[in-house]
Amino acid sequence: MACYICGYPAVLKCRQCGKSVCNRHYNYDDGKCTTCHDAQFAKPATVETKPAVAIETKPMTTKPKKGRK
């Protein structure tokens, strides 16, 4: 088998993606290829959000009391 990254003969297999990799592209600490290992620590893509809108509140008013007749 050949390493899917560089084409060098490979005998190791990534635990995450299952692809064959050579010893130069294998991370022995976690058993993943360098691509999967780097993706684990990559920053997530920034998500655009709408600006926060303040809810308009009305001043608190007391209800008029009903008078007795």
Which 3 state secondary structure label does DSSP give 21? Answer: strand
Give the chain's domain count: 1
Whether 50 maps to a domain, the answer reads no
Residue 58 scores a pLDDT above 90? no
What is the spatial distance between Cα 18 and Cα 51, in angstroms, rounded to a whole number? 42
- Which structural domain, as residue segments, surrounds residue 25? 1-43
Residue 64 scores a pLDDT above 70? yes
Whether 22 maps to a domain, the answer reads yes
Higher pLDDT, 59 or 24: 24
| Nearest to 26, CA basis, from 16, 40, 12 | 12
Whether 37 maps to a domain, the answer reads yes
Share of the chain above pLDDT 90, in %: 45
Whether 21 maps to a domain, the answer reads yes
